[in-house]
């Protein structure tokens, strides 16, 4: 397994974990005690946006690694 492929797997896994946690926070299933609704929504949206950023950054790195291999 190539070193960059391991980092790709970790990048995609972290993106998925952040998306799942963001959805759980937004839905209220992952209740953060004492956190106002607006703060919970903001936290959930930030987690989702970070997961999208992480996914896109990992895709870009994968494309760059693939083009440098050719």
pLDDT tens per residue across span 1-55:
566 788 899 999 999 999 999 999 999 898 778 889 999 999 999 999 999 999 9
- Report pTM: 0.84
Q: Could you tell me how far CA 11 lies from the centroid of its own chain? A: 8
Q: Is 22 exposed, middle or buried (0-12, 13-18, 19+ CB in 10 A)?
A: buried
Domain positions in the chain are 3-64
The larger pLDDT score, comparing residue 70 to residue 26, is at 26
**Do residues 10 and 43 touch, judged by C-beta distance below 8 A?**
no
For the stretch 48-66, pLDDT in tens is 999 999 999 999 998 888 7
Residues 10 and 48: their CA atoms lie apart, in Å, by: 17
């Amino acid at each position: 397994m190539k070193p960059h492929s391991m980092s790709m797997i970790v990048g995609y896994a972290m993106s998925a974990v952040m998306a799942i946690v963001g959805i759980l926070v937004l839905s209220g299933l992952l209740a953060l005690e004492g956190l106002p609704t607006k703060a919970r929504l903001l936290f959930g949206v930030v987690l989702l946006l970070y997961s999208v950023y992480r996914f896109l950054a990992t895709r870009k790195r994968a494309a760059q690694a693939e083009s440098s291999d050719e």
